[in-house]
Structure 1
């Protein structure tokens, strides 16, 4: 652990993993803003996984922390259980953590939600939808929960691009079940387009792409710079997810200036505002019609992009970071 003084705020990160860095990317952007306004240092935990050794090691690592406040940026919600300092926990998602077998689910509820909620001084969540879901698990802690949305990455900027309505490039981010790739493939199977998929494909998904003769490109485990590049070269972003605690690709695409077709479920309408085309993600025909509308209707597409720009302003790094600064001040007095 770094040498810290009694006034230092610790911004705590889970142990770095090769393929999971969304929380790190997000909060390092926030840290770059916060460090000029408050005494704060990033701390990476030593243990990974859900085994007893990792849990104890991470809790013990923060137990002797000498600073003024611990802010756990996500995932390792339990890490501050042994600390006597004020603790903020940021919870990004509920559903994916608890989508396990019975015993594992009880264990995760205990160490990721029930005990941390009792210990935490404040809990932040990234959407009103996530707050509602979390309150069902820890109703006794609902007064501690504050909504602070994710910021859009400041490296993203508006990039003008002439829309290719002959053969548009459609960007799809994510291949897990909730990302709804299979229905997306079926929906665009009759559309002349190129599909770029970010995420590791399974055998079934590869087979579906081949059976529909989709012209596609696949990238997995790529740095954020590469994701930024694909936002810039694509014509539209398809993100018709079945479930999201937030939905970062929506505001990222809006910031770059790409039209977005997305889902009308979970947190997504809240995050997208009126700057995206919302469809029923279970209805393949509705997805197809939405993609065609964006491709064929220039005025509709232009308005969608403009409203997207306005919506993305809600998630500027300065605004979100100031919300955290206000929370720190409230706790520390």
Structure 2
């Protein structure tokens, strides 16, 4: 009889996705390929309907995330928030009977065979921990064999193994770069690593941090890295078609721009990138894909001030040229096209637990400029140009070299895919399979 693994839906429910959402989808797909039954438990910011058909509808209704329901139901939710479910909760099953057309929502459920939901699940777990100092326990109609939280949160499934992925310790090691409640985060992580059946992470850098900072025994922490699978149709789309897309949609020329994509937050080091780019005085525009988050307004203001300061003479006219362009969000197929068409992807992060943009870009054969900090050297190897992310001058020189040195770009475009192959889907599947097999055998 096949084992059942349940995953949290915290990041899977985000429409624009995150690196953690990509990680969760990869785990779901991999677990299914390994023969496990899989499920996802979601949190909904409204009451769960009794009617099974309406449950399916509400799960995929954006408006349900904000509506509070009747006065009676709001009172019940307020009371539960107040006492923070001291005896745990029972998420309800969400049957998928075909009522909701899910073709455009596949990313939200991945390869899950069973879905569950609970009202305010993830915020309730945080309140529960703050009130009682322990994990919020869940029981299910069909108990899973293992709950794998893809992000550290104080949740646990009764009568099951409970493991947690800690991607990095940035809130503790670089507390000035995140808006997390550091006291809560520290206490919660310390409690999780004591109670967890195992801890999972995504790089040797993060594994060392978890062992050294949180005091976890080495045998209780496994690094499974990550993998990226760009669909073949997107990888092999003819270059002339990609070039036409870029010209038609973004007015960009093939291999004539720099690209940054990722979260718009302090640790991504975008302010230094903008300064370095402007001082490099290169003719290639800088494209930034990412919506402003915490403290993102400061960087956005810098971009708005600088983006039209470059002028291009066209015949007898002087017209403003958009040196820096920013887009909150582009679809995944369009992002792949932007990566493929870039002269180079620039990702000078101050610290990463893994660094998915680096791996994605190397896999697609696009030259990468990245950082010597965190896990990036471990992931990039010799497949990227790495610089001190705290040095604007080093970054400026690297951008100038990439803009003008065709041989350097060719060398990186060849080295990148070879390095990315070390993080292939097949290798990832073997690492995940070894992890789960060891857990169920009790080998850890």
Can you list the C-alpha shifts for 1:255-311, whole angstroms capped at 9, x where unaligned?
A: 111000111111111111100001111212211111222222222211111111111
Mapped partners of 1:170, 1:265: distance in 2: 21
**1:121 and 2:197 are equivalent in the alignment:** yes
**1:208 and 2:286 are equivalent in the alignment:** no
**1:104 and 2:181 are equivalent in the alignment:** yes
Q: Give structure 1 stretches of 5+ with no counterpart.
A: none
SS at match of 1:114: helix
Can you list the C-alpha shifts for 1:177-226, whole angstroms capped at 9, x where unaligned?
A: 11111111111111111111111244432332244336222122444333
Change in 2 beyond 3 A, CA 1:210/1:8: closer
User: Which residue in 2 is equivalent to 1:182?
Assistant: 271
Preserved contact between residue 261 and residue 290 of structure 2 (Cα < 8 Å) = yes
Query: Could you state the TM-score of these two structures normalised by the residue count of structure 2?
Result: 0.66
User: Which residue in 2 is equivalent to 1:33?
Assistant: 30
Mapped partners of 2:185, 2:140: distance in 1: 21
SS at match of 1:124: strand
**1:23 and 2:20 are equivalent in the alignment:** yes
Q: Give structure 2 stretches of 5+ with no counterpart.
A: 44-120, 244-251, 310-321
User: Which residue in 2 is equivalent to 1:136?
Assistant: 212
Mapped partners of 1:84, 1:257: distance in 2: 46
Q: Counterparts in 2 of 1:47-196, with a 5 A limit?
A: 47-49=121-123, 51-52=126-127, 59-62=136-139, 66-76=143-153, 78-80=154-156, 83-96=158-171, 99=175, 104-111=181-188, 113-155=189-231, 157=235, 168-174=256-262, 175-189=264-278, 190-196=281-287
User: Which residue in 1 is equivalent to 2:90?
Assistant: none
Change in 2 beyond 3 A, CA 1:145/1:203: closer
Mapped partners of 2:344, 2:432: distance in 1: 32
Change in 2 beyond 3 A, CA 1:324/1:200: same
Change in 2 beyond 3 A, CA 1:13/1:182: same
1:105 is displaced (CA, Å) by 2.1
Change in 2 beyond 3 A, CA 1:197/1:61: same
Change in 2 beyond 3 A, CA 1:222/1:309: same
Preserved contact between residue 240 and residue 261 of structure 1 (Cα < 8 Å) = yes
Preserved contact between residue 149 and residue 163 of structure 2 (Cα < 8 Å) = yes
Query: Could you state the TM-score of these two structures normalised by the residue count of structure 1?
Result: 0.86
Change in 2 beyond 3 A, CA 1:144/1:294: same
Preserved contact between residue 143 and residue 159 of structure 2 (Cα < 8 Å) = no
Mapped partners of 1:159, 1:263: distance in 2: 30
User: Which residue in 2 is equivalent to 1:12?
Assistant: 8
User: Which residue in 1 is equivalent to 2:341?
Assistant: 233
Mapped partners of 2:161, 2:297: distance in 1: 47
User: Which residue in 1 is equivalent to 2:367?
Assistant: 259
Deviating beyond 4 angstroms after TM superposition, the runs of 4 or more aligned structure 1 residues are 53-58, 62-65, 100-103, 158-167
Change in 2 beyond 3 A, CA 1:197/1:35: same
Change in 2 beyond 3 A, CA 1:159/1:256: farther
Change in 2 beyond 3 A, CA 1:131/1:172: same
Change in 2 beyond 3 A, CA 1:79/1:151: same
Preserved contact between residue 154 and residue 316 of structure 1 (Cα < 8 Å) = no
Change in 2 beyond 3 A, CA 1:41/1:165: closer
2:422 to 314, 318, 321: 314
Mapped partners of 1:148, 1:62: distance in 2: 28
May I ask how many residue pairs the two structures share in their alignment?
A: 326
User: Which residue in 1 is equivalent to 2:81?
Assistant: none
Mapped partners of 2:139, 2:227: distance in 1: 27
Mapped partners of 2:303, 2:365: distance in 1: 28
Mapped partners of 1:240, 1:131: distance in 2: 22
Preserved contact between residue 65 and residue 83 of structure 1 (Cα < 8 Å) = no
1:71 is displaced (CA, Å) by 1.7
Q: What CA RMSD, in Å, does the superposition of the two structures yield over aligned residues?
A: 3.2
